[in-house]
Structure 1
């Protein structure tokens, strides 16, 4: 699949001009075979590779480079003053003249908010694009989002959903055959400490693990170190929001060095501490949540699964 030229006009038989303002939406459009209709993206949309040439329509209002604590404090300061974390480039949207804009209403920290997109679109002088907002909380919401996007863009989606669900079913059934699972702690932020919520607890259970923190369908909860230590997980998986493997390793090691009890944890003593590319997989509620499930299965049951996601998708800490 190839992307449309950044500012060029679409072919005569292709009237849709799609702008996606969250990576998961970009990936949904692509898996539906419509990457060629994309004309703009968010600053975080980077998959598939072809979308990287597209104009960027959003930008953060904070410096995303720094320690976990520094980034947390910058974002918290913006939210405390009722300011949004990201902003929309209205001039770019005006130039791109999209017919459809895909955004989200799930998390103000993850991407530009629905209200901000609506406010920006209201200022466009051309035609008003159709805004489709996604708000996934569990894996089932992903199937519905793919169907909604397909309907909005006029293409069938059932075959895509069926293929993804077949992979989930195969992984789940094989993982369950392994018997009683190990206790797993998934960490979505390290300073302050936060466990993973939403779809991640569901994926852990599907992969044959016993999720210790976070509730399926609920936002990620803050976590006290004492609670993590008391639970003494058999497996710890770091998946900080927006972090690649290198940044995740750095954050995980910083946490380990700050806690004297770290080396006494069962997962640490047994070498069962892992880092994953949360930015590309677990943090994005798009088609690659299925990849995320397979990564968990590979980590939790190395004797049963060999999808070959390592070392680009996960590593042992």
Structure 2
């Protein structure tokens, strides 16, 4: 098959597409796509309807207000979509807060691009779904062998970690915070990442979406390692939100706080993008939990985390 013209409406699928060697065939991206840096000049086909530069509480209120009105958080530039003339559009059918909905993309594709366009919806809830989505993109773009090679490389790195962490007799209690106001714990694939990294997540079920948690429940769990990774927040933004956590009653009594094992991390580049860099996220998390054993994972990513004393 001829190499298709591809539009990616997710940062994670953009990373998958480029990892499959299709960067030159990527003709349109979302407003959030920023990696690799070589794609940032592509036409951007989506835009948010809310201000994403406000506080976490402000963003949450705006999202809930749109949801109550039955409105989407994002808009599609239909004329730009028509102009780039894609053969394949990669989107998602998991979370309307994360990107344009599958229904909206399908309607726009039919109305402005024609019936020949294939719309591929990614639905990553668990790690196995992320791996399957890589193959789905490979299949839709005629790059299935490349997708299988990419997965083999990912599995080799994951297995290197498992070979060490599976032997740890008493995994520490780990909590991953995905949003601060309201307080939410990271779900979906994050409990699996925590387990693979040699930690124990006693609060979240793998595959379940991020959930609001009562502060007293988190205090009772008393995590020994606490990773703060708000979805879409680069490190600097994450660090600016951490004081809201520190003001909560009993913060200083948490084991993670007492032992100096509270970390702010880049939730924009890592953890919240279900693509090839989910393995980088696993390596970073493993290094944070076991810096003595896996310090090499931290050396190359020192820009992506800060210990919060």
Fold match, TM over 0.5? yes
Do the aligned partners of 1:14 and 1:37 also contact (CA within 8 Å) in 2?
no
Give the equivalent residue in structure 1 for 2:234: 244
Correspondences of 1:229-308 after superposition (within 5 Å): 229-257=219-247, 259-305=248-294, 306-307=296-297, 308=299
- Cα offset, 1:128, TM superposition: 4.0
* Whole-angstrom distance in 2 between the partners of 1:69 and 1:85: 16
Give the equivalent residue in structure 2 for 1:63: 51
- Cα offset, 1:99, TM superposition: 0.8
Instruction: Spell out, residue by residue over 1:191-227, the C-alpha distance to the aligned partner (whole angstroms, 9 max, x if none).
Output: 0000000000000000000113221011111101111
* Whole-angstrom distance in 2 between the partners of 1:311 and 1:15: 38
Give the equivalent residue in structure 2 for 1:190: 180
Aligned: 1:142 with 2:130 = yes
- Cα offset, 1:266, TM superposition: 1.2
Give the equivalent residue in structure 2 for 1:166: 156
CA distance 1:33–1:297, change in 2 (3 Å): same
3-state DSSP of counterpart to 2:211: coil
2:35 maps to which of 47, 50, 54 = 47
Aligned: 1:20 with 2:11 = no
Do the aligned partners of 2:179 and 2:185 also contact (CA within 8 Å) in 1?
yes
149-158 vs 161-170, greater mean Cα deviation: 149-158
Do the aligned partners of 1:94 and 1:124 also contact (CA within 8 Å) in 2?
yes
Do the aligned partners of 1:94 and 1:126 also contact (CA within 8 Å) in 2?
no
Unpaired runs of at least 5, structure 1: 1-12
3-state DSSP of counterpart to 1:237: strand
Structure 1 vs Structure 2 CA RMSD? 1.4
- Cα offset, 1:229, TM superposition: 1.0
1:82 maps to which of 62, 70, 74 = 70
Aligned: 1:313 with 2:304 = yes
Give the equivalent residue in structure 2 for 1:226: 216
Give the equivalent residue in structure 1 for 2:110: 122
Do the aligned partners of 2:86 and 2:113 also contact (CA within 8 Å) in 1?
no
Do the aligned partners of 2:3 and 2:142 also contact (CA within 8 Å) in 1?
no
Do the aligned partners of 2:227 and 2:263 also contact (CA within 8 Å) in 1?
yes
TM-score in terms of structure 1 length: 0.93
* Whole-angstrom distance in 1 between the partners of 2:238 and 2:9: 24
Do the aligned partners of 1:295 and 1:309 also contact (CA within 8 Å) in 2?
no
TM-score in terms of structure 2 length: 0.95
- Cα offset, 1:130, TM superposition: 0.9
- Cα offset, 1:262, TM superposition: 0.7
Which aligned runs of 4 or more in structure 1 are off by greater than 3 angstroms? 125-128
Correspondences of 1:206-225 after superposition (within 5 Å): 206-225=196-215
Aligned: 1:33 with 2:24 = no
- Cα offset, 1:125, TM superposition: 5.6
- Cα offset, 1:179, TM superposition: 2.9
Give the equivalent residue in structure 2 for 1:6: none
Unpaired runs of at least 5, structure 2: none
Do the aligned partners of 1:190 and 1:255 also contact (CA within 8 Å) in 2?
yes
Instruction: Spell out, residue by residue over 1:11-65, the C-alpha distance to the aligned partner (whole angstroms, 9 max, x if none).
Output: xx96521110001110111111111110110000101111101010000011111
- Cα offset, 1:126, TM superposition: 4.9
* Whole-angstrom distance in 2 between the partners of 1:84 and 1:60: 9
Do the aligned partners of 1:184 and 1:235 also contact (CA within 8 Å) in 2?
yes
Do the aligned partners of 2:8 and 2:91 also contact (CA within 8 Å) in 1?
yes
Give the equivalent residue in structure 2 for 1:131: 119
